[in-house]
Amino acid sequence: RRFGYGGYRFIEGRWAPVAKALIETYGLKDGSSVLDVGCGKGFLLYEMQKILPGLKVVGFDISRHGLEHSHEQVKPYLFNYRAQDVYPYGDDSFDLVISLGTLHNLRLYEIEAAVKEIERVGKNKYIMVEGYRNVAEMHNLECWALTAESILHTSEWIWLYGKLGYTGDYEFIYFE
């Protein structure tokens, strides 16, 4: 719990539907490249590579705890890094950049830097964050989101993406 991972452990196949959807939606194939910003323990990247063994994966996370407990098969492709720092990659380096459940853990000025970097290094982009649509969901989010720094209404996230020139896909999860 201290690291925001609670009992988060590997469960075979749990991330497989998400991995399959990302591969199909973005037309990934052997030789395609994926960057996971805030990869945690790398479980999604592992499932993606299981489905598509020729997929080139890279992930980074701020949590040394998460990286130390990552899946052994993808551990060599993961490193410790902050989402809001300039990424060590050139423009359009990746066929897909994903960030699931990470950006709401940053302050607004850090979100700006991270979104601009995701936009810069990815040909395709997909971001998922926690948001809220009403007071009850805001309350639940405030109680549940242990590491969240930016608790924003869905409309605020959408406005922010537009303001920052983000052209990728996005989605929200809610605590109803």
Tell me: pLDDT of 6 over 60.
no
**Beta bridge partner(s), residue 127:** 99, 170
For residue 71, give both structure tokens: 């899946």
For residue 87, give both structure tokens: 């990424």
Mark whether 122 and 164 lie in a shared domain: yes
Taking the C-alpha atoms of residue 30 and residue 172, their distance in angstroms, rounded to an integer, is 29
For residue 62, the model assigns a pLDDT of: 94
Mark whether 74 and 118 lie in a shared domain: no
What is the number of domains present in the chain?
Answer: 2
Per-residue model confidence as pLDDT tens digits over 96-144: 999 999 999 999 999 999 999 999 999 999 999 999 999 999 999 998 8
Mark whether 108 and 40 lie in a shared domain: no
For residue 1, the model assigns a pLDDT of: 43
Is there a domain that residue 3 lies in?
no
Mark whether 147 and 71 lie in a shared domain: no
For residue 3, the model assigns a pLDDT of: 47
Radius of gyration of the chain (CA): 16
Is there a domain that residue 173 lies in?
yes
Q: Which of 37, 52, 81 is the last residue of a domain?
A: 81
- Domain of 166? 95-176
Mean pLDDT, the chain, rounded, equals 93
Is residue 76 within 8 Å of 82, Cβ to Cβ?
no
Please give the residue that has the higher pLDDT: either 11 or 24.
Answer: 24
Is residue 99 within 8 Å of 127, Cβ to Cβ?
yes
Report the SS3 class of residue 136: helix
Question: Max Cα separation, the chain?
Answer: 45
How far is residue 152 from each of residues 59, 132, 160, 161, 168, measured CA to CA in Å? 25, 7, 10, 12, 19
Report the SS3 class of residue 152: coil
For residue 119, the model assigns a pLDDT of: 98
For residue 11, the model assigns a pLDDT of: 66
Per-residue model confidence as pLDDT tens digits over 33-77: 999 999 999 999 999 999 999 999 999 999 898 899 898 999 999
Is there a domain that residue 63 lies in?
yes
Q: Which of 81, 111, 139 is the last residue of a domain?
A: 81
CATH number (domain holding residue 73): 3.40.50.150
Is there a domain that residue 138 lies in?
yes
Q: Which of 81, 108, 131 is the last residue of a domain?
A: 81
> What stretches of the chain show up as alpha helix (H) in DSSP?
16-25, 43-51, 64-68, 108-121, 135-144, 154-163
Is there a domain that residue 41 lies in?
yes
For residue 65, the model assigns a pLDDT of: 85
Is there a domain that residue 6 lies in?
no
Is there a domain that residue 29 lies in?
yes
Mark whether 105 and 165 lie in a shared domain: yes
Report if pTM > 0.85: yes
Averaged pLDDT for residues 7-30: 86
Indicate the burial class of 13 (C-beta count within 10 angstroms; 0-12, 13-18, 19 or more).
exposed
For residue 40, give both structure tokens: 């945690």
Is there a domain that residue 76 lies in?
yes
